[in-house]
Structure formats: C-alpha cells, structure tokens
Amino acid sequence: MIGLIVFMILGAAAAAPMDDKIVGGYECPAHSQPWQASLNIGYHFCGGSLINDQWIASAAHCWQNPYSQIVILGDHHIWNHEGTEQFMSVDAIYWHESYDYQTLDYDIMLMKLAHPVTVNQYVKPIALPKACPTAGDMCTVSGWGNIYSDEVFNPFQLQCVEVPILSDKDCENSYPGSITDRMVCAGYLEGGKDACQGDSGGPLVCNAELQGIVSWGWGCAEPDRPGVYTKVCSLMSWINDILSRYS
C-alpha cells in the first residue's frame, strides 16, 4: 500500500513524473507513436493516448483542472518547437466513477478536446482493443518519464521500450492482493525495463491496439516488480458509453 501511495503521489506531482518513465529503453523513432500525448500545465506531467480525433485516454491519477492544462500532440523533442505539434485545450474530463485513489483501481479518465485534431502522419489515433491481450504479447510503452531506476533524469526525446504482457499469476505474485480485474502487468520479472515517473497515463500498445495505460508499480524496473497498467479491454463498455454520451 505504501508503494501504491508513493507511486500515485509521484504520478500526480507532475515535474517528477509518475511510476513510469521509460527505463532500459531507447529513443523512439521520431513520430513513430503518433497517438502519444503530453499533458502539460506549463511542463509535461503525464502522458496520454489519442483514441479518436477529439478524445484522449489517460490515467485518472493524472487528473488536473481541465482549464489549467493543454494537451500537446505531434511532439518528439519536448522542448524544441518542431512544427509538427498541435496544442489543444481541454473541454471536459470524465474519470471512472469507481476510481480508487488508494488502490488505483479503475485508473482511467477520458479527456474531450475543445475541438478535433488534424489527423496526419504526426498525429493519429490508436485503435482501442477488440479483445484482451494474452501473456507473452510484446507491447511498446512510450513516454517522456524518468529513464533511471535510481536517480531522476527526464529525457527531451520521446522514449520507447518493449515489454511482454505477464500472466495473471505472475502479476498477482508480484503484488499480492493488489491486482484487480482492471489491471494488467507488463515487463520482465528480472527487471531492467519499465515505465517510470512521468510516463503515467501513457500508452501500452500491443498489436497496434491500446491495451494499457501506465498506472503504477513499485519503483521502476525493479526485479519482481513489473509495471502495472490499467487494463483497457476490461473498461471498453465504460469507454464506449462516455464516447457515445458526450461526443
């Protein structure tokens, strides 16, 4: 429980991203993750994923007043203006009514942008899942979060790392009593590759579908402490309901 709270505080603290900065990864090829969003309140504090031309999926623990932030899409170098960015104001945020800030169950929110994005090669939605992932599926996590497990350094360029979906048994064994049906683990039990502070809310993409949202974990890239992600496939009925009611 202490680990959960520490992660949540880190995730919400903004300047020091949350449970997931990419550790053990590499610089993504520029604009290879065109659904990647940066949530920004004067600085990047969480990630998100564009799921259609006017909606972003992120983690509920990343919530900030919608009128105090912007969503940046089409970015790669977070401090340089590249001419590919789209800066979007936020019209409304809907977080899951069952979200629990202590356990991080139902850690999901949907953000409606004030107007649709221009879809192009730099800004493009990621598909939502048609089925749940299976253990062993290889997935890509991306973000601007911390790249070290034992100190803080947030990179300027978007980072990526490939991690496998873990079995429900391995996930539960890593965090006894803390894993719910709305969570999925991805990573390596030996550690070394993970998301980290600042990656919170960002995408876990498997087979070209958004299967996870960076949520929490104990430390970053620690042995037997894989990353825990909001399991998007388990929340599709809620997502579709919000999109149909408020689009």
Same domain, 192 and 131: yes
- Domain total for the chain? 2
Same domain, 207 and 239: no
Would you call 107 a catalytic residue per the annotation? yes
> Quick one: 238 exposed, middle or buried, by C-beta within 10 A (0-12, 13-18, 19+)?
middle
**What local confidence, expressed as pLDDT, does residue 20 receive?**
38
Among residues 75, 107, 194, 199, the one annotated as catalytic is 107
> Which CATH number covers residue 67?
2.40.10.10
pLDDT tens track for 3-57: 333 333 333 333 333 333 478 889 999 999 999 999 999 999 999 999 999 999 9
**What local confidence, expressed as pLDDT, does residue 192 receive?**
86
Same domain, 158 and 225: yes
Would you call 61 a catalytic residue per the annotation? yes
**What local confidence, expressed as pLDDT, does residue 150 receive?**
63
Q: Is the pLDDT of residue 65 over 70?
A: yes
**What local confidence, expressed as pLDDT, does residue 17 receive?**
32
Same domain, 109 and 173: no
Please, are residues 217 and 104 in contact by the beta-carbon 8 Å criterion? no
pLDDT tens track for 158-199: 999 999 999 999 999 999 999 999 999 999 999 888 887 779
Same domain, 151 and 111: no
Please, are residues 148 and 10 in contact by the beta-carbon 8 Å criterion? no
**What local confidence, expressed as pLDDT, does residue 149 receive?**
59
Among residues 31, 49, 58, 61, the one annotated as catalytic is 61
For the chain, the average pLDDT equals: 89
Q: Which of 195, 188, 214, 76 is nearest to 146 (CA)?
A: 195
Same domain, 133 and 228: yes
DSSP states of 89-128 as a string?
A: EEEEEEE-TT--TTT-TT--EEEEESS----SSSS-PPBP
Domain presence at residue 14 = no
pLDDT tens track for 204-240: 999 999 999 999 999 888 999 999 999 999 999 999 9
Q: Is the pLDDT of residue 1 over 90?
A: no
Q: Which domain holds residue 200?
A: 126-233
Q: Which of 99, 112, 98, 110 is nearest to 61 (CA)?
A: 99
Beta strands of the chain (E only): which ranges? 26-27, 36-40, 44-52, 55-58, 70-73, 86-95, 109-113, 138-143, 159-164, 183-186, 203-206, 209-216, 227-231
Integer CA distances (angstroms), 139 to 45, 162, 198, 206, 212, in order: 23, 5, 19, 4, 9
pLDDT tens track for 66-93: 999 999 999 999 989 999 999 999 999 9
Sheet architecture: strand order including 227-231: 26-27, 159-164, 138-143, 203-206, 209-216, 227-231, 183-186
Same domain, 121 and 133: no
**What local confidence, expressed as pLDDT, does residue 153 receive?**
62
pLDDT tens track for 184-194: 999 999 988 88
Cα of first residue to Cα of last residue in the chain, in angstroms, is: 37
Question: Is the model more confident about 147 or about 134?
Answer: 134
Domain presence at residue 2 = no
For 233, residues 6+ apart whose C-beta sits below 8 A from its C-beta are: 129, 131, 132, 133, 211
Same domain, 119 and 165: no
